[in-house]
Structure 1
């Protein structure tokens, strides 16, 4: 009878371990789902903050006074002696086909 009691205790403790593991397996899905939801919320908050920062910086750049414009090179006077640079191709520059 002592053996049966010991066997009964062993079955009882084994059964409790199985129930505990069952609970862990069932709750692990909920834990993973909660972690995924938290990560999505964090990414959403960061995205919103970046969009607000970008909008604020863009409006600041558009509203700030512009600096002096860089000096543009003078237009070429048609009466001047200076000729604009041109590129010419001579027949020597062209590759020739040999058959």
Structure 2
């Protein structure tokens, strides 16, 4: 009986962990989105190449990639392969890719 209880408890904790991970999804408020888009248009950067990096949410960029600050916004940006990429500076993970 203990074995079944432990398996049930483990399954519950696993499902609870999935719920927590979903709650941590990045949400950029519409006001911030506007600030970011306008700033990036006014402060264009030269596009860089980062071989072997897939431009998708959650991908970590190498520390050698120089990120630019957006005033009053937590995230930073860089232009890779002519696409603007918003990055969490503490983890270097991509949080949004603009087309």
Same fold (TM over 0.5): no
Higher relative contact order (CA 8 A, sep 6+): 2
What's the TM-score once normalised by structure 2's chain length?
Answer: 0.34
What's the TM-score once normalised by structure 1's chain length?
Answer: 0.34
Please identify which structure carries the higher helix content: 1
Q: Say which one has the larger Rg.
A: 1
Please identify which structure carries the higher strand content: 2
